[in-house]
């Protein structure tokens, strides 16, 4: 905003009035207007006379006598051809003399024999006169110029003040980010109003189109340069309008898992299961596939178990289902399930499915307990879970080793009953309650910091 204000003052200073601008250009470049050809082709008259030439000469002498820079020019006219002789102080004076001569009726051609003088005294005198004229114009227009600056500054300050009244915008948009955006738009509107009024006071409203055109070109160039930043900003707006998650939700975003801490104007902050902070740009979050594990309180776990190929599959499946139904934390509805996943080289792979209420129980602990209990039940019923056995053959003095996998697996003798296991393990209590370590870390993050958070329970959910 300060840059905008400074640029406005500079532009107004340079263009306080058209006359002042012309004089500054003449002072710096030594030229006010380029040489111009006649607007239309003149028709050469057949009946031109010496009297007409005298009229042209007399008319040009009167015109040049009114202009200080052209008073010393000598004019002669013959058959409509005007010859200009003498010294002029600058190229702009030379061009002006030629242009005025071409505008007189009856002039056919201009013979330019003017010479630009390099007399130091005359140059300094002309420069001093120009500086005096510029100073007079500035002093004359200074009150209006000062009033324009005051009007623009008042609108800029009032817009800034009203843009910070967040309580007003929160009534319109409860979302913090959108309310802040409304404040910025309001500030911009007041700046534009102040600019229009200031230019109107200076009678420079035509300049507004040039300023807006230049701003549009600059904005387009900057937009390409900061395309990723703009994309991230728009994604933040859309995510704040429709929240895909809430604080402390366990989510996976493009394969990155963690509990949501906050949604800021630039990024989404997560706490990973091992307690690390993860920052993901909102543009990536908006385009990513998001898995929200917390949105539904029921969650299904699964794991694979291999058994010997000679086992009765129906009996094994029934035993696994019976064990699952007896485990605390495994829901009866939806019902657990045991399927035959695949036939391996030396075993048959069963896939076990079960559901748990993750608001009451720890998902990982219930899954772990299910694996332990089914393994124990299989051991008690002598259901073997074989491992592949490899036979290494070394023949003669050759260094090559052939590894051949046997189709069958050697059976290991399991414990016949739970009583054969160590007493400490058999009597150990299993804790399947929820682990709220990460939730407490997220809560502490909110209590310690005052960072913005665009997540709102009242916002629309996806």
- Measured from the Cβ of residue 134, the count of other Cβ atoms closer than 10 Å reads 19
Q: For residue 184, give both structure tokens.
A: 């910025």
Confirm if 126 and 89 have CB atoms less than 8 A apart: yes
Taking residues 337-365, what's their average pLDDT?
A: 90
Residue with tokens 């030594």: 30
**Is 80 exceeded by the pLDDT of residue 456?**
no
The residue with tokens 């906050």 is: 262
In order of 399, 404, 439, the CA distances from 396 in angstroms are 9, 18, 64
How many angstroms separate the CA atoms of 149 and 135, rounded? 19
Half-sphere exposure of 37 (CA within 13 A, CB side): 3
Buried b (16+ CB within 10 A) or exposed e, 9-25: beebeebbbeebebbbe
Q: Using CA atoms, how far apart are residues 454 and 236, in angstroms rounded to an integer? A: 9
pLDDT of residue 434: 77
What are the backbone angles phi and psi of residue 64, rounded to the nearest 5°? -70, -25
The token pair at 274 is 């091992």
Supply 142's token pair.
């200074």
Tell me the two tokens of residue 381: 């019923």
Whether residue 3 has pLDDT greater than 50: no
Q: Containing H/E element for 38?
A: none
Q: How far is 116 from 94, CA to CA, in rounded Å?
A: 8
Look at residue 449 in the predicted model and tell me its pLDDT. 64
State the pLDDT at residue 21.
Answer: 45
Residue of 416, 437, 340, 330 lying closest to 373 (CA atoms):
330
Strand spans (E) along 209-347: 242-243, 250-253, 256-263, 267-271, 277-281, 290-292, 298-307, 337-343
For the record, the structure tokens of 322 come out as 């019976």
- From residue 217, give the alpha-carbon distance in Å to each of 22, 189, 232, 316, 383: 26, 20, 22, 74, 77
What CATH class has 298-426?
alpha beta
Tell me the C-alpha distance between 244 and 291, whole Å: 10
Q: Where in the chain is the domain with CATH 2.30.30.60?
A: 246-294+442-461
pLDDT score, position 2:
46
| Rounded CA separation 75/65 (Å) | 12
pLDDT for the residue numbered 298: 92
Top pLDDT among 49 and 59 is at 59
pLDDT at position 31, please? Answer: 47
Which pLDDT value is given to residue 250? Answer: 92
Q: What is the pLDDT of residues 81-108, one digit of tens each?
A: 889 988 887 788 889 889 888 888 888 8
Q: Options 3.10.290.10, 3.40.630.30, 2.30.30.60, 3.40.720.10; which CATH number does 246-294+442-461 get?
A: 2.30.30.60
Q: Give the whole-number percent of the chain exceeding pLDDT 90.
A: 20
Give the other-Cβ count within 10 Å of 294's Cβ.
16
Q: Hey, how many other C-beta atoms are within 10 angstroms of the C-beta on 96? A: 19
pLDDT (0 to 100) of residue 453:
80
Please report, to the nearest 10 degrees, the dihedral formed by the alpha carbons of residues 67, 70, 75, 77 taken in order: -60
Domain 17-118 has CATH 3.30.1340.30: yes
**135: Cβ contacts below 8 Å, ≥ 6 apart:** none
Long-range contacts of 30-37 (CB under 8 A, 24+ apart): 30/90, 30/91, 30/92, 31/90, 31/91, 31/92, 31/95, 32/92, 32/96, 33/92, 33/95, 33/96, 33/99, 34/95, 35/95, 35/98, 35/99, 36/99, 37/102
In 3D space, the residue among 269, 242, 259, 267 whose CA is nearest the CA of residue 175 turns out to be: 242
- More confidently predicted of 389 and 129: 129
Better-scored residue on pLDDT, 142 or 294: 294
Name the residue with higher pLDDT: 257 or 394: 257
**Residue range(s) of every CATH 3.30.1340.30 domain in the chain:** 17-118
Across the beta sheet with 348-357, the strand order is 298-307, 348-357, 337-343
Is the pLDDT assigned to residue 213 strictly greater than 80? no
Q: Structure pTM?
A: 0.55
In the chain, list all ranges with CATH 3.30.70.100.
298-426
pLDDT class for 433, splitting at 50, 70, 90? confident
CA–CA separation, 145 and 10 (whole Å): 11
C-alpha–C-alpha distance, residues 103 and 100, integer Å: 5
Distance CA 184, CA 163 (A): 6
């Amino acid at each position: 905003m300060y840059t905008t204000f400074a640029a406005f003052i500079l532009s107004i200073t340079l263009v306080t009035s058209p006359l002042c601008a012309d004089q500054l250009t003449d002072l710096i470049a030594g030229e006010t207007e380029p040489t111009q050809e006649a607007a239309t082709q003149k028709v050469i008259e057949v009946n031109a006379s010496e009297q007409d030439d005298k009229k042209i000469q007399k008319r040009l002498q009167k015109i040049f006598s009114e202009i200080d820079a052209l008073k010393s020019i000598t004019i002669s006219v013959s058959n409509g051809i005007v010859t200009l002789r003498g010294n002029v102080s600058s190229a702009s004076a030379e061009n002006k003399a030629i242009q005025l001569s071409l505008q007189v009726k009856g002039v056919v051609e201009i013979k330019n024999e003017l010479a630009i003088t390099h007399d130091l005294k005359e140059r300094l005198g002309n420069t001093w006169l120009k500086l005096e004229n510029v100073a007079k114009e500035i002093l004359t227009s200074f009150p209006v110029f000062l009033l324009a600056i005051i009007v623009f500054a008042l609108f800029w300050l009032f817009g800034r003040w009203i843009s910070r009244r967040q309580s007003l915008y929160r009534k319109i948009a409860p979302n913090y980010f959108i309310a802040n955006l409304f404040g910025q738009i309001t500030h911009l509107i007041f700046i534009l109003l102040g600019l229009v009024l200031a230019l109107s006071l200076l009678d420079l409203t035509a300049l507004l189109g040039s300023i807006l055109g230049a701003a549009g070109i600059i904005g387009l160039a900057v937009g390409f340069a900061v395309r990723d930043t703009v994309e991230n900003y728009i994604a933040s707006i859309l995510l704040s309008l429709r929240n895909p998650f809430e604080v402390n939700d366990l989510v996976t975003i493009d394969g990155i898992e963690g509990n949501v801490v906050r949604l800021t104007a630039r990024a989404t902050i997560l706490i990973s299961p091992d307690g690390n902070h993860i920052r993901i740009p909102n543009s990536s979050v908006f385009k990513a596939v998001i898995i929200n594990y917390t949105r539904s309180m029921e969650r299904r776990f699964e794991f694979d178990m291999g058994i010997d190929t000679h086992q009765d599959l129906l009996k094994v499946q029934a035993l696994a289902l019976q064990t699952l139904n007896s485990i605390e934390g495994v829901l009866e509805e939806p019902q657990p399930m045991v399927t035959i996943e695949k036939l391996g080289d030396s075993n048959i792979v069963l896939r076990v499915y079960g559901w748990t209420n993750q608001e009451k129980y720890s998902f990982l602990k219930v899954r772990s307990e299910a694996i332990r209990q089914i393994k124990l039940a299989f051991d008690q019923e002598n259901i073997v879970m074989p491992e592949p056995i490899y036979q290494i053959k070394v023949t003669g003095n050759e260094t090559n080793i052939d590894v051949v996998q046997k189709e069958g697996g050697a059976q290991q003798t399991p414990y016949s009953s739970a009583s054969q296991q160590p007493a400490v393990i058999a009597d150990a209590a299993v804790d399947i309650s929820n682990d709220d370590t990460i939730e407490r870390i997220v809560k502490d993050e909110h209590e310690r910091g005052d960072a913005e958070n665009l997540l709102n329970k009242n916002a629309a959910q996806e």
